[in-house]
Amino acid sequence: MRRILIATSNPGKLRDFAGAAAAHGTEIAGIPGFASLPPVAEDGLTFEENARKKAEAYSRYVAGEIVVADDSGLEVDALKGAPGVHSARYAAPDLHDKEPHEADQNTADEANNARVLRELTDVPVEKRTGRFVCVLAAARDGKTLATFRGVAEGIILDAPRGANGFGYDPLFYFPLIDKTFAELTAEEKARYSHRGAAFRQFLEWCDRRGH
């Protein structure tokens, strides 16, 4: 069975990758000792930039292996694309009195969701469109080999719904199957999510290259 090394400590992302991989006879594994490796500054202006930075940095620790890193987030049209690359730290002004790009730690999902809801107060449903974006970078020995982009289009609700998933999942309504992302099973999240879409492209690339 093919085995892919994933550079993340986010349990929600790992679950999503495991779900997406299971459907394709692929096993995913973490990088050995990942938690004790120095963190990579996610200071890029785009998802691509951050995904490449992470994949390149972590691939240096496992010579000769392909390492995959994900950078992802929620883009809300009424907020001009925010939280975007700052999705994981969007509540930093509320919690730490810092702008998200200055924050040195992620902020809790509940606080991030609360900020998005507050900023969308009184925005009508037809203007609450947005999307999850996931960019995967595959790197080996410090060089990016390829990147893959997956997108899921939806609507930001005015209250959370559902208990599965992580991050902004409870606010993200996906009209195609009339559920929020927090109401999806692992199989559904793999099929419909931005991360699943990017991961499938990555697996097709592996197939073409014989990895």
CA distances, 190 to each of 24, 117, 152 (Å): 11, 26, 11
- Is 192 annotated in a binding site? The answer is no
- The annotation status of 168 as a binding-site residue, yes or no, is yes
User: Residue 87 interacts with ligand IMP (CB under 6 A)?
Assistant: yes
- Judged by CB under 6 A, the chain residues 18 through 37 that form the site for ligand IMP are none
Asked whether residue 70 is marked as a ligand-binding residue, the answer is no
Q: Which of 185, 90, 73, 177 is nearest to 130 (CA)?
A: 73
Distance in angstroms (rounded) separating the CA atoms of residues 2 and 131: 30
- The 180-209 site mask, x for binding ligand IMP (CB under 6 A), equals -x-----------x-x--------------
Q: Is 178 a catalytic residue?
A: no
CB closer to ligand IMP out of 52 and 195? 195
Rounded least distance, CB 119 to ligand IMP, Å: 15
Using CB under 6 A as the binding rule, whether residue 112 contacts ligand IMP is answered as yes
Orientation angle between helical segments 194-209 and 11-22, nearest 10 degrees: 50
Q: Which of 130, 150, 165, 196 binds ligand IMP (CB under 6 A)?
A: 165
Please state, in angstroms and rounded to a whole number, the distance separating the CA atoms of residues 171 and 158.
7
Q: What is the Cα–Cα distance from 71 to 34, expressed in whole angstroms?
A: 17
Cβ atoms within 10 Å, residue 23: 15
Q: Give the number of C-alpha atoms closer than 13 A to the C-alpha of residue 63, restricted to the C-beta side.
A: 0
Is 169 a binding residue for ligand IMP by CB under 6 A? The answer is yes
Binding to ligand IMP, residues 55-74 (CB under 6 A): 70-74
Catalytic residue positions? 71
Binding site for ligand IMP (CB under 6 A): 10, 42, 70-74, 87-88, 112, 132, 165-169, 181, 193, 195
